[in-house]
Amino acid sequence: MMTVVGNNALICRPQLASCCASMKLGILKLQACNCKAKSLGFNITGTEVKTTFLAPVRKTETSRIVHINGKSASSHQPGYNSNDEISANDFSGFPGKSISLTSTNGNSTNIVWHKCSVEKSDRQELLQQRGCVIWITGLSGSGKSTVACALGRCLHARGKLSYILDGDNVRHGLNRDLSFAAEDRTENIRRIGEVAKLFVDAGVICIASLISPYREERDACRASLPEGDFIEVFMDVPLHVCETRDSKGLYKLARAGKIKGFTGIDDPYEPPLKAEIVLRQNQGLCDSPNDFADVVISYLDRNGYLKA
C-alpha cells in the first residue's frame, strides 16, 4: 500500500514484515514480496520504501510547451509535436529526462500549457451541445439583457446549458476596478472575452450581453475563438427609441452632463458590419423578447449548436 507523506514522499508499506531489509532496489526480486522494481531511486529501510518524487498519475496528462513570444497563440489544439523539440509524452515526466521549456505570454513568464485528457469534445458530448459565445451588442436600452434572459430560459427549457455574462453584473465583481473610460472599456471587453472563451471550452453556450461599443474589441474576441464559436447578435434599435425607453435614467443624466463618455451621446457606438444575427424593429414596433430569442434559437438549431 502506498501513501503520500510530507514533501511528496511516496511511502510503501509491505504487507509482510519478512520482505523488509535495508537495500537499494536495482532490478531484483524481493524475496518476500515476490515482485520486481526498476531502478527508480527507491530506498528500503525497515518497513518503509521511500522515494523523493511522485511518478505521473496518468501518462496522457502532460505539460504541453507553447512558445508565444509575447503574443497570444492557439494552445487548445490536441496533441503536441515539434520539429525541434521532443514531446513530453516521450519521457512520462520522470526527473532528468523531461524537457522543461516555458513560454511568455504578455507579462506572464515561465508558464507551461498543461493538457488534460478530458477535452472540449468530451464535454460537448456529455452535454449534447456545442460550446459557443452568443455576443449580444447594442446601445443602452436596446434590450440586450432582456433578450439574453429570454434566450437563457428558452435554452434551459430545451435542456441546454447556458450562462449569461451581463455587462453590469460582471462590473459588480470581476471588473469592478474598471471605469467607463475608453481604455478601461477595452480591458472590460478583453476580460469578458477570456471568461467567455473558458465557458466555450467547457462546452457551455455563453450569452455575453453588453454594449461593447468598439468594433475592434468585439472582433478581437471573435479572433480568439475557433471559427464558428463566436456568434454576434446586433440589437439594431435606433438611439431615439433607446433614449425614449431610458429605463435606468442614464440618457437623462448624460444629456444633463452628469455622466461623461456615455455611448450614443458623447461616446461613439460602432455597429457590427457582419453580425451573424441582426434583431431589429418590425414596422416600427419591437418584437417581444421571446420572439427575438426564437430567432437566435433557430440559428443555433440550423447550424448544429444544439447537438454534440
Helices first, then strands: H and E counts in the chain: 8, 16
Count the neighbouring beta carbons within 10 Å of the beta carbon of residue 209.
Answer: 29
Q: Report the C-alpha gap between 147 and 85 in whole angstroms.
A: 49
Residue 212 annotated to the active site: yes
Q: Report the C-alpha gap between 235 and 292 in whole angstroms.
A: 10
Tell me the CA end-to-end span of the chain in Å, nearest whole number: 42
Q: 54 and 24 in contact (C-beta within 8 Å)?
A: no
Dihedral sign from CA coordinates of 172, 175, 178, 184:
negative
**Cell numbers standing for residue 111:** 508558464
Catalytic residue among 98, 140, 212, 224: 212
Q: Report the C-alpha gap between 200 and 112 in whole angstroms.
A: 21
Q: Report the C-alpha gap between 25 and 27 in whole angstroms.
A: 6
Q: Report the C-alpha gap between 141 and 251 in whole angstroms.
A: 9
Q: How many residues does the chain have?
A: 308
Beta bridge partners of 64: 113
**Cell numbers standing for residue 206:** 455563453
> Which residues participate in catalysis according to the annotation?
212
